[in-house]
Structure 1
Amino acid sequence: MNHGVVTVVVITYNDAEHVSEAVASALAQGDAVGEVVVVDDASADDTPHVLGRLAAADPRVRVVRRAGNSGGCGTPRNDGIDAARFPWLVFLDSDDVLPPNAVEALLGAALRHDADVAAGLCVRRELPGGREIPWQPELFGSESVHDGVSLRPRTLWDTLSVNKIYRRDFLLSRQIRFPDGAAHYEDFVFTARVYAARPRLAVTPRTVYVWHVRYGTGRASISLRRDRIQNWQDRVCAHQQVLRIMRDSGDRRLLIAAQTKFLEFDLPVYLSELPQRAPEYQDAWWRISREHVRAFEEEAVSRAAPAARWRTAVLLGREREAANLRRLAELAADPPRLPPPYAGDTRRPLWDQPRSASDGADEIVLDGLADAPIAQLPLYVTAEVNPGRRLRLELRLAELYGRTAQAGPVLATVEFRHRVTATAHQCEGVWEAVPGGAGWRADVTVDAAALCEDGTITTWDARVTLTFRDGDPVERPLRAGSGLGRLVRPGRRGRLLLLQPYATHSGSLALRVTDGLAGLRTVVAGRLSRRVRR
């Protein structure tokens, strides 16, 4: 009964290299897919010829070619909605793929719950490495159904249009379309229109979309162009449209949830990278952000997590040059961390020392810190590296206004996780108080030779799980301290061991490691190759 009921809309522009794989993944979904409508946004490369061959090979493939390029993704998707012949719609970008049985999972959830929309898990696959990162996985833990999303406001964090199936009549009857033309972040606006229309929404825990993130290709997606201030302006503009949609819906809960989501998610994504930008970018970003956030409801700010409230207070209460951007970027990390020094005291913790000694009106209070659960505290852990065949890490945990001592740190479990395979190696240390109340210290050793893979260079990210006497364990990334750099040490069975503890882009500790002559040749060849390119 479900044969030929789904139209998969694939949009493409100058993507002859990848579009065949995308279309093949849609056709492989089985008999439920009645057609694959490929909308070519006036490609100037070999894409039209590739699409011609695909259409000739399978009658389910229909090509819609636009006469002129629209400048964005919204218009070709709208063309696909108009061209579709079947009652259910799925969207797919030409450089991504649908995993096996994705349509079956989405359609099955929609039909079981008589839903207008069904959503599933999307994974970001980083290429060429292959590491997969789930998108908003907490939203897709189990199958569920919801009449509207007001009572599940976290749904607004899922701004993707491509990890869902839509009843076409639902979109048409509510006049839900993508923004036309060169609008960026069109998914934000489209999903806001969907959510504001109060759909019956089914959720499946199955993986239904693979989002390819290609680094070093010269064709970074919009979401990866954060080094351009126009990118932030476009994102804020899209969010302003989202807020208008939510306000017009008459559901204040959606409006508040959309504002809180911006403070907790959108703002810190860019704020964490702000110290790396040029002063001109920083000034423009600060001005755009402050102007946008100033219009938010007080309730939206009060509902945000503690670190989001503190970031917002700094944005609104300090000029850019006085805001201590590096410290603010740490507070915008995921999870947030707050490095010392700490101003104020346990009774009144402050972001910084007030600029005037008048009546304290200049203070930015870290409200809620005394009552926040351990998991929400911006705990700050660093690792000083003492390298050898067995790496020794000296961990330091800052005392945070008495909250660390109150919780009682007991164990530190350091985990080195393989960046691609997710294989993990763990080691433990015991926390000891540093004299004078200067925090806590733990020594942890790891056998670096156990991380080697027969001459292959592997990369391992370090995280630490803090076990407290009072409260559940809390996981944090390790901040990289001293002792970084390339090292050569004796390894097992007389093999050479090459180590490189280093700080990641975000300042966390990571480790590259290899062993043996094969590994040494790989490193040397890599250095020679880089010199030749220079």
Structure 2
Amino acid sequence: MNDGVVTVAVITYNDAEHVAEAVASALAQGEAVGEVVVVDDASTDDTPRVLERLAAAEPRVRVVRRAANSRGCGTPRNDGIDAARSPWLVFLDSDDVLPPKAVDALLAVALRHDADVAAGLCVRRELHSGREIPWQEQLFTRESVHDGVAGRPQTLWDTLSVNKIYRRDFLLSRQIRFPDGAAHYEDFVFTARVYAARPRLAVTPETVYVWNVRYGTGRASISLRRDRIQNWKDRVAAHQQVLEIMRDRGDQELLIAAQTKFLEHDLAVYLSELPRRASEYQDVWWRISREHVRPFAAEAVRRATPAARWRTAVLLGRERKAANIRRLAELAADPPRLAPPYAGDTRRPLWDEADSVSDGMYEIVLDGLAEAPIGQLPLYVAADVRAGRRLVLELRLADLYGRTGHAGPEHATVELRHRVRGTTHRYETAWEAGPSGHGGWRATVTVDPAALCEPGAITTWDAWVTLTFRDGEPVTTPLRAESGLRRLVHVGRRGQVLLLQPHATNSGCLAVRVADGLAGAGRVLAGRLARRVRH
């Protein structure tokens, strides 16, 4: 009964290398897919010829070719809505794929709950490493159905259009379209229009979309071009449209939820990377962010997590300074961590020592910190690296406004986690009070580099630590990378040659890269040389 009821609308532009794989993944969904409409946004490479061959070989493939490039993704997706002949619609980008049974999973849950829209889990697949990262996984833990999203405002965190199936009549009757032309973050606006129309929304925990991430290819998606200030301008402009949509619908609850989501997520994503940007970028980013956030409802800030509230207070109440940006980046990490120095005390923890008279600034109180359980505190654990025949990690735990000391730190378990497979090596240690006058606690773990080695491979291990306390629940957080980050050659007792590279990740956390043997070391050095030549 469900044969041929779904149109998969694929958009493409100058993507002859990948579009056939995307179309094949849509056709492989089975009999539910009645047609695959490929909208070619006036490609100038070999894409039109690839599509001609696909259409000639498969009657379900239909090509719509635009006469002029739209300079965005919204217009070709709108063309796909217009061209579709089936009652249900799924969107697909030409450099991504639909996993097996994705359409069946979405269609089944939509029909089972008589829904207008059904959504499933999307995973970001990093093609260079094979690692798969779920997108907003907390929204897709179980099957559920919702009449509108006001009762589940966290749905607004799912801004993707491609991990869903839509009843086409629902889109047409509500005149729901993507922004046309060169609008970026068009998904934000489209999904806001969908949510504001109060659809009956079904959710499945099944993986229904694979977002392929290709670093270093020149084809990074809009959301990965965060090193350009125009990217932030586009994102803020899209969020302004989202807020206007909620206001126009008169939905105060969704308006506040959209503002809270921006404070929790969007600001944090860019703040975590802000120390790496040029000062000119930081100045413009700070000004734009202030102007956008300042009119937010007080209730939107109140509903945010403590870390998001503190970040917002600093953004609005302090000038852009390097020290503030470094600490905010730490506070924007996942999980958040708050780096020293700590002003005030346990009863009244402060962001800094600002004096309202001499500095013209008001105190920023870290509300909620004094009452939060130890397991929810943004604890800061750093690691200095010493390397010889063994890899030694010297840990330092800061005393967060006296809360850490009151809980009584006892033990630490360091985990080195394989970045792709998730396997771990664990090392136990105990905390000792730091040197007099320095405060905090110290601990040491020793690692045999050979244990991290895989024959003929280059592996990366991320460093995490779980803290246990006399009073309170355990806390797990990444280790912050400090000193000793350098590449070195390690020779084991049996003459095994390893290339070790303790380094800081983009978020400042400690990771260890290990290359096996001279061949593995050669691959690392050759890769670095190739990058220098390209730049």
- TM-score, shorter chain, exceeding 0.5: yes
- Alignment match, 1:124: 124
For 1:65-214, list aligned pairs within 5 A: 65-214=65-214
Query: Contact 1:330/1:336 (CA < 8 Å) preserved in 2?
Result: yes
Query: Contact 2:119/2:163 (CA < 8 Å) preserved in 1?
Result: yes
1:290 paired to 2:316: no
Deviation of 1:367 after TM superposition, in Å, equals: 1.1
Q: Deviations over 1:210-244 (max 9, x none)?
A: 00111111122111111111111111110011011
Deviation of 1:14 after TM superposition, in Å, equals: 0.8
- Alignment match, 1:334: 334
- Alignment match, 2:455: 454
Query: Contact 1:389/1:497 (CA < 8 Å) preserved in 2?
Result: no
- Alignment match, 1:55: 55
- Alignment match, 1:349: 349
- Alignment match, 1:27: 27
Deviation of 1:411 after TM superposition, in Å, equals: 2.4
- Alignment match, 1:224: 224
CA distance in 2, matches of 1:70, 1:383: 49
Query: Contact 2:344/2:350 (CA < 8 Å) preserved in 1?
Result: yes
Deviation of 1:445 after TM superposition, in Å, equals: 2.2
CA distance in 2, matches of 1:61, 1:310: 52
Segments of structure 1 that go 5 or more residues without pairing to the other structure are none
Q: Deviations over 1:483-525 (max 9, x none)?
A: 2212223325331232111112221111111333433444455
Return closer, same or farther for 1:481/1:83 CA change in 2, 3 Å cut-off. Answer: same
- Alignment match, 1:318: 318
Deviation of 1:114 after TM superposition, in Å, equals: 1.1
Query: Contact 2:355/2:361 (CA < 8 Å) preserved in 1?
Result: no
CA distance in 1, matches of 2:446, 2:136: 34
Query: Contact 2:272/2:329 (CA < 8 Å) preserved in 1?
Result: yes
TM-score, normalised by the number of residues in structure 1: 0.96
CA distance in 2, matches of 1:360, 1:242: 35
CA RMSD of aligned residues (A): 1.9
1:504 paired to 2:501: no
Query: Contact 2:14/2:44 (CA < 8 Å) preserved in 1?
Result: yes
Q: Percent identity?
A: 81
Query: Contact 1:389/1:449 (CA < 8 Å) preserved in 2?
Result: no
Return closer, same or farther for 1:296/1:453 CA change in 2, 3 Å cut-off. Answer: same
CA distance in 2, matches of 1:216, 1:322: 28
- Alignment match, 1:381: 381
Q: Deviations over 1:262-293 (max 9, x none)?
A: 00100111112222222221111111110110
1:434 paired to 2:434: yes
Deviation of 1:468 after TM superposition, in Å, equals: 2.8
- Alignment match, 1:363: 363
Segments of structure 2 that go 5 or more residues without pairing to the other structure are none
Q: Deviations over 1:424-447 (max 9, x none)?
A: 222121223335571122222222
Deviation of 1:414 after TM superposition, in Å, equals: 1.3
CA distance in 2, matches of 1:503, 1:54: 45
CA distance in 2, matches of 1:161, 1:517: 46
CA distance in 2, matches of 1:371, 1:183: 44
Return closer, same or farther for 1:325/1:511 CA change in 2, 3 Å cut-off. Answer: same
The residue identity in structure 2 corresponding to 1:497 is L
Q: Deviations over 1:94-129 (max 9, x none)?
A: 000001110011111111111111111100011222
Query: Contact 2:275/2:322 (CA < 8 Å) preserved in 1?
Result: no
Count of equivalent residues: 534
CA distance in 1, matches of 2:531, 2:70: 39
- Alignment match, 1:233: 233
Deviates more, 1:151-160 or 1:498-507: 498-507
Q: Deviations over 1:390-420 (max 9, x none)?
A: 3221111110012112333232121112222
Deviation of 1:346 after TM superposition, in Å, equals: 1.5
Deviation of 1:529 after TM superposition, in Å, equals: 5.2
The residue identity in structure 1 corresponding to 2:520 is G
Query: Contact 1:455/1:517 (CA < 8 Å) preserved in 2?
Result: no
CA distance in 2, matches of 1:238, 1:362: 32
CA distance in 1, matches of 2:140, 2:532: 47
Deviates more, 1:503-512 or 1:384-393: 384-393
CA distance in 1, matches of 2:131, 2:524: 22
- Alignment match, 1:281: 281
CA distance in 2, matches of 1:323, 1:250: 41
Query: Contact 1:117/1:166 (CA < 8 Å) preserved in 2?
Result: yes
CA distance in 2, matches of 1:533, 1:201: 47
For 1:241-320, list aligned pairs within 5 A: 241-320=241-320
Query: Contact 1:390/1:449 (CA < 8 Å) preserved in 2?
Result: no
Return closer, same or farther for 1:374/1:388 CA change in 2, 3 Å cut-off. Answer: same
Q: Deviations over 1:318-363 (max 9, x none)?
A: 1213762112211122221111111111221111111445799621
1:465 paired to 2:466: yes
The residue identity in structure 2 corresponding to 1:319 is E
Query: Contact 1:125/1:132 (CA < 8 Å) preserved in 2?
Result: yes
